[in-house]
Amino acid sequence: QTCALPICMGLQGMINLMLQNCDFVIERNPQEQIKRLAQRDIRSVNTLITLAEQAVHDHSNGYAALRATIRGMAQDAPVVGITGTGGAGKSSITDELVRRFCLDFPDKSVAILAIDPSRQRTGGALLGDRIRMNSINSNRIYMRSLATRESQTELSAAIQDAIEVPKSAGFDLIFVETSGIGQGNAGI
């Protein structure tokens, strides 16, 4: 007698199968990610920015060798900083500038690094900027949110390293949007 696989397995068998299918190494080799950076591989861009954030957060110097390699690959690209008080329209103006840039330069690409306030509970970014961005649904546009964490400023402590990653991936223009809270300094 045959039956469909999930029915024969029972609940515990299905749970075990799901856990087995989810059990794989999520660590990525940083050197492999750097090789893929030249092809503007989005997962590599994400991974390398995350490693930069973790190095700042963990106060480790393990990112120094990666930093040197990434900076060596960096291409010239203008970086535009957008700042202002909360609710001033930073995300709206960034969205409009990106839209117009992409319309005027169809062969160019844009990276947006949006700094968001940290969530009290998890320390992650609130991601409020993404809901106001309407023009970012394109393979020429990359957007990444970074949390302020404990930086005590409107910028992430990892912002300098984060900017180098899209420069190394060959993005033509980079926007950095501050969190807009506090306005304690003019770091942007």
Q: What is the pLDDT of residues 21-57, one digit of tens each?
A: 887 666 778 888 999 998 899 999 999 998 988 887 7
Q: What is the pLDDT of residues 104-147, one digit of tens each?
A: 999 999 999 988 766 555 554 455 556 667 778 888 999 988 87
pTM of the predicted model, to two decimals? 0.76
Banded model confidence at residue 16, pLDDT cuts 50, 70, 90: confident
Run of H or E residues at 81: strand 79-82
Question: Contact 133/91 with Cβ under 8 angstroms?
Answer: yes
Residue in this structure with the two tokens 């690209």, named with its chain if needed:
77
One-letter amino acid of 23:
D
Q: Which residues, at least 6 apart from 172, have a Cβ–Cβ distance to it below 8 Å? A: 77, 105, 108, 109, 110
Banded model confidence at residue 184, pLDDT cuts 50, 70, 90: very low
